[in-house]
């Protein structure tokens, strides 16, 4: 499986892609397919976040954990589902906060591709999953790879706004240099925790305020 990502990321991560653990990870996924076992998202969308948001264009980072494990849901962007697929509960809560925070019409789609194309890196910590088995591909190497993604952004860029929702994202984002970047934390948008700090966090407007204070363009958070 050849990584389908923007050339800017290949320039930054090329040596990581050649590490033995990444070779083993690719071999594992190829063997899964050969054995008749599927994984999500489809192979051509595994690196979708790094395909749609070039390295130098990243303005905001949202961290997720692993892809949706239901058929037709995962598309390589954390929290996002393809157009026409019913938004899962966490995404519905993100829509609610977006509406409350910015006064935008409630989105009719769960497809967050427009955000990715506007500089919002929608990165899961683990990039693949077995159908119906959450976290089934955890600890196979993806976490090391996505740690490198975050570390490169932290070291080579400045002024990125990191939105860390929930304990897992906050632990993973601990490597971010807060003297060079902006880090906003809240509870996870899951129905189990959204009322404990995600609702009312106003991260969308706060991110734009921080970008504007740095003289950078705000993100257009509107979705159709």
Strand partners, 120: 60
**Helix 7-17 × helix 142-156 angle, to 10°:** 130
Catalytic residue among 57, 66, 111, 217: 66
Q: Is the peptide bond before 86 cis (omega within 30 degrees of 0)?
A: no
Contact 121, 6 (CB under 8 A): no
Question: What distance in Å separates the CA atoms of residue 186 and residue 201, rounded to the nearest whole number?
Answer: 7
Query: Which residue, chain included where needed, has tokens 């999953």?
Result: 129
Nearest Cα neighbor of 53 from 77, 82, 24, 32 is: 77
Which token pair is 71?
Answer: 């058929």
Q: CA geometry: angle at 77 spanning 23 and 135, to 5°?
A: 60
Angle of helix 20-34 relative to helix 142-156, nearest 10 degrees, comes to: 140
Catalytic annotation on 66?
Answer: yes
Maximum Cα–Cα distance for the chain, whole Å?
A: 53
- What is the number of residues in the chain? 224
Classify residue 147 by its DSSP letter. H
Q: Which residue has the tokens 């033995």?
A: 20
Catalogue the active-site residues: 66
């Amino acid at each position: 499986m050849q990584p389908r990502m923007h050339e800017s990321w290949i320039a930054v991560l090329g040596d990581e892609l050649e590490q033995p653990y990444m070779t083993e990870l690719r071999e594992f996924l190829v063997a899964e397919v050969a054995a008749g076992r599927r994984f999500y998202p489809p192979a051509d969308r595994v690196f979708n976040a790094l395909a749609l948001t070039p390295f130098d264009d990243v303005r905001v980072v949202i961290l997720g954990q692993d892809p949706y494990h239901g058929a037709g849901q995962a598309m390589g962007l954390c929290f996002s589902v393809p157009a026409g697929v019913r938004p899962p509960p966490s995404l519905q809560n993100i829509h609610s906060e977006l509406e409350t925070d910015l006064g935008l019409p409630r989105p009719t789609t769960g497809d967050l591709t427009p955000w990715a194309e506007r500089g919002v890196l929608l990165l899961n910590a683990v990039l693949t999953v077995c159908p119906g088995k959450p976290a089934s591909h955890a600890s196979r190497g993806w976490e090391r790879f996505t740690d490198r993604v975050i570390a490169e952004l932290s070291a080579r860029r400045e002024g990125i706004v990191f939105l860390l929702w929930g304990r897992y994202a906050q632990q993973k984002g601990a490597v971010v240099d807060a003297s060079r970047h902006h880090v906003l934390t809240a509870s996870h948008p899951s129905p189990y925790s959204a009322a404990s700090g995600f609702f009312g966090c106003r991260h969308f407007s706060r991110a734009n305020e921080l970008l504007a204070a740095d003289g950078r363009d705000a993100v257009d958070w509107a979705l159709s």
